[in-house]
Amino acid sequence: MPVWGARMSEPVRFLWQVDGDDFSSAGEASVLAKRSLRELGFDAELIRRVAVAMYEGEINMVIHAHGGEAEMLVDEDAVRVILRDVGPGIPDVELAMQAGYSTATDSVRALGFGAGMGLPNMKRFADELVVDSRVGEGTTIEMTFR
């Protein structure tokens, strides 16, 4: 019979869907992530970094990829955030990493997004950032915070 007791070999896992057509709901996953991390007793600065970087990632998924999913894995030493989408992919990751470079459409910019700071901000706030993107297939971004 399964027992609910402790088995801490695996990190605690959270999974949220990011709705692709709704700017106003973008950021919901980062709010829930923030709440969970606070309950887990992480320090304020780390929580702020995760929340801001994750928010940027969520907005990117909405702008470019019609949404996707956000996963968070938490163990004692680190928080890992994995953002997966099946969008168009990033043709030139190096270029996308440059501050101010953006492929967002005018209609997106009119909403106040698309300043070309998404990936640069994620890189700035995460301790590690790995971008795995294939054109036509999608993008997976993995951020680690310690």
Residue range at the interface with another protein (CB under 8 A); choices 34-42, 64-72, 99-107, 134-142: 34-42
**110: which residues sit within 8 A by CB, 6+ positions away?**
none
Q: Report the sign of the C-alpha dihedral through residues 130, 42, 47, 6, in that order.
A: positive
The identity of residue 25, as a single letter, is S
| Shortest distance, position 142 Cβ to another protein, whole Å | 20
If binding is defined by CB under 8 A, does position 16 make contact with another protein?
no
Helices (H) and strands (E) in the chain, counts: 5, 5
If binding is defined by CB under 8 A, does position 131 make contact with another protein?
no
Q: Which is nearer to another protein, 126 or 133 (CB)?
A: 126
Residue range at the interface with another protein (CB under 8 A); choices 10-18, 83-91, 96-104, 132-140: 10-18
Sole binder of another protein in the list 18, 19, 51, 104 (CB under 8 A): 51
- Residue 5 has phi, psi (to 5 degrees) of -60, -170
Sole binder of another protein in the list 17, 22, 48, 134 (CB under 8 A): 48
146 CB burial (10 A radius; 0-12, 13-18, 19+): exposed
Letters for 74-93 (x = contact with another protein by CB under 8 A, - = none) are: xxx-----------------
